[in-house]
Structure 1
C-alpha cells in the first residue's frame, strides 16, 4: 500500500542529501528515491555554528549551485519536527538552532531535517528490507539503542520527534533465567538521566556491560558474540541474558505498532546469528504467531541515513 501512496507524493527532480555525524558530513545528490551519488565527505565543524554553516555553504556552492534543489539532512541527534530545533551531543554547535529556518536562510534553499534513525527507517521501509510492508519499525542496535517508525511510506515522528525511541523506555523485567537460576540484573544508569533503560543493555556497550556483571570479565561485544558462536559458556550466559532483556520490550513494540517487519541497523546488524536469535525470541513473545522472520538485518548499513535523507527530500 505505501509504495503507491509514496510514489504519488514524491518530488520529481534532483534533491540533495547530507548525512551529518559527529565526525563527518557526507553530501550526495539524488535524482530518484533509493539513488544517491556521493559528492563530498568533509569534517564536521561540531563546535562552531558559524563554521558549520560555512562548511555547508562552501560545499553546496561547489557541487550544487542550483538553489531549487532542496537539502535534506540526516542528523545525529534529535530534531523537533514542528520547529526543526536540534539537540545533539555529537554535534553540540547545532543544539538549540532551528535547522530548516536558519540554514534555509543562509543556504538560500529549502532545508528539511530529521534524526538519523528516522532517516535509516525511511530508507529500509521504502527501498530496503521493509519494502512492501505497510508498517515498518526499525531497531538501531549500535553503541546504544534507537529506532523509528514508518506507516504507509511516511515517517511517524511524534511530538518532539521522539517516536521510535524505545531505547529510553524501561527494561520490562530485569530478572533473567540462566540455566534454571534466576539472576536479577541491575537497572544501570543511562545517559538520558533515567535508570534501567533498554539503551543500557541493548547495544554493543550493553552487551559488554552485561558480560562484566555476569562474568566479572571484560571483552568487546565482537569478542563476546564470537565466543558465543564458538560455544563459550560465559559468553552464552551473556547472550542469553541479552536476548531476554531485549526481546521483551521489542515484542511490546510489535504488539503496539502492529509492525510486520523490523529491519535492524547499527553495528550489531552485521551479527546475523544474533539478529536471528533476537527474531526467534521476539516471535515467541508476540500475540500474532508467524513463522516468517520479523527482526531482520537491514540492507543499507552506514548509507541508511543518507539514502533516507534523500527519500525525505523527494517526499517534501
Structure 2
C-alpha cells in the first residue's frame, strides 16, 4: 500500500492507494499554519489514520509547495513559509519510523498523470498547474525529474517569451511575488487572468465569473480570454523548444476552461521552432486529486 500526503497552505490531505491505484482511504484536515511541529504531528496523525482504517502499513510520499534543497537538505521556495529551512523529510521519517519521499506538488501532479492519468504510457510528461499561482513539474519514465538544483519544472518563474507592446507594459506594472518582473506566473495564472481583465475593464471579477461573461458573449471577457490563450501557447512553446515533452497536462483552476484544448494546440505551431508541433495538450484526469495521488506514486510501482 502507498500513502500520499498533499501538504498545502490551508489543508493537508492523505490518500491510501492499493498497488493497482484503487483508493482505499482519504481524509483531509486543516493545516496548522505557521506551526512546524504541529504540521508534522498532523501529517503523522493522517498516516496513522490511513493505516488504522486499512489495516496495512504503507510507504509515505509527500507533495509540498516547495522543494528539498539537494545541497542543504532543507525545504526551500515554499510559499508555506514555515516549512522553509526545515529538514521535513528527516523530521517526519523520525516521527513515523520509516523513510519518507518528498517532492514539489507540481512534480507530484506530473507523476500522477504519467502513472495512470492523461500522460499514462508517455515517457516525458510536462504537467502544469495554472491556478492561483503557476507552476509545473516534469516526469520522465514515471519518475520526478527534480534537477541538480531541485527546481526542475519551475516554469512559472521564467519570463513570458515573445512579448508584444501591451505585455511589455504589463510586466512593468505587475511585479511577481518572487521579486522579478515579467514572470509567466503573472500572465497565465488564474490571478494573472483576472488582473488582465481588470486592466481591460476596470472591474474586478474572479476567473470563473470572467469565463461566464465570455460564454455570454461579453467582448471584454472574450478579449481577456483570447489574450490568455496566446500567452499560454507562447509559454508552452518555449518549453517544447527545450524539452519537447510527449504530452502537456494541465491542472489547476484554469485547466477547466475547455476551449483551451482546441485553441492552444493550434497556436503552438506559431512559436515552436520549425512550425511543426503535434504535442497533445490534455486535461489532468485526476483533477484536484492528482497531487495527493502523485505523492503516493513517488514510490515505485513495484515495491520490494
Does TM-score exceed 0.5, indicating one fold? Answer: yes
> 2: CA distance between counterparts of 1:155 and 1:33?
20
Uncovered stretches (5+) of structure 1, i.e. residues with no partner: 1-13, 177-181
SS at match of 1:223: helix
> 1: CA distance between counterparts of 2:216 and 2:73?
47
| 1:33–1:311 CA contact under 8 A, matched in 2 | no
Q: TM-score, normalised by structure 1?
A: 0.85
> 2: CA distance between counterparts of 1:82 and 1:191?
24
Moved more, 44-53 or 83-92: 83-92
CA RMSD of aligned residues (A): 2.4
1:236 aligns with 2:222: yes
State the partner residue of 2:37.
50
Q: Where has structure 1 moved over 4 Å in runs of 4 or more?
A: 65-68, 81-84, 288-293
State the partner residue of 1:245.
231
State the partner residue of 1:191.
177
1:254 aligns with 2:243: no
Moved more, 64-73 or 95-104: 64-73
| 2:66–2:77 CA contact under 8 A, matched in 1 | yes
| 2:245–2:279 CA contact under 8 A, matched in 1 | no
Number of residue pairs aligned between Structure 1 and Structure 2: 298
1:60 to 47, 50, 56: 47
SS at match of 1:272: coil
1:87 Cα deviation after fit: 3.1
> 2: CA distance between counterparts of 1:299 and 1:224?
24
In structure 2, relative to structure 1, the CA distance for the partners of 1:146 and 1:59 (3 Å cut) is closer
In structure 2, relative to structure 1, the CA distance for the partners of 1:183 and 1:115 (3 Å cut) is closer
In structure 2, relative to structure 1, the CA distance for the partners of 1:62 and 1:210 (3 Å cut) is closer
State the partner residue of 1:6.
none
| 2:5–2:43 CA contact under 8 A, matched in 1 | no
> 1: CA distance between counterparts of 2:186 and 2:110?
22
> 2: CA distance between counterparts of 1:288 and 1:45?
50
| 2:157–2:184 CA contact under 8 A, matched in 1 | yes
Moved more, 235-244 or 76-85: 76-85
1:91 to 73, 80, 94: 80
> 2: CA distance between counterparts of 1:175 and 1:292?
25
In structure 2, relative to structure 1, the CA distance for the partners of 1:190 and 1:74 (3 Å cut) is same
> 1: CA distance between counterparts of 2:284 and 2:292?
14
2:14 to 17, 24, 27: 27
Structure 1, residues 172-203: CA drift from partner, whole Å, max 9, x if none? 13316xxxxx7754202000110010100101
> 1: CA distance between counterparts of 2:43 and 2:230?
44
Moved more, 51-60 or 258-267: 51-60
> 2: CA distance between counterparts of 1:113 and 1:57?
14
> 2: CA distance between counterparts of 1:38 and 1:84?
30
Structure 1, residues 119-161: CA drift from partner, whole Å, max 9, x if none? 0011111211111211111111111211011122221111332
> 1: CA distance between counterparts of 2:197 and 2:216?
16
| 1:67–1:109 CA contact under 8 A, matched in 2 | no
SS at match of 1:314: coil
| 1:211–1:218 CA contact under 8 A, matched in 2 | yes
SS at match of 2:27: strand
1:93 Cα deviation after fit: 2.7
> 2: CA distance between counterparts of 1:303 and 1:249?
25
1:168 Cα deviation after fit: 0.5
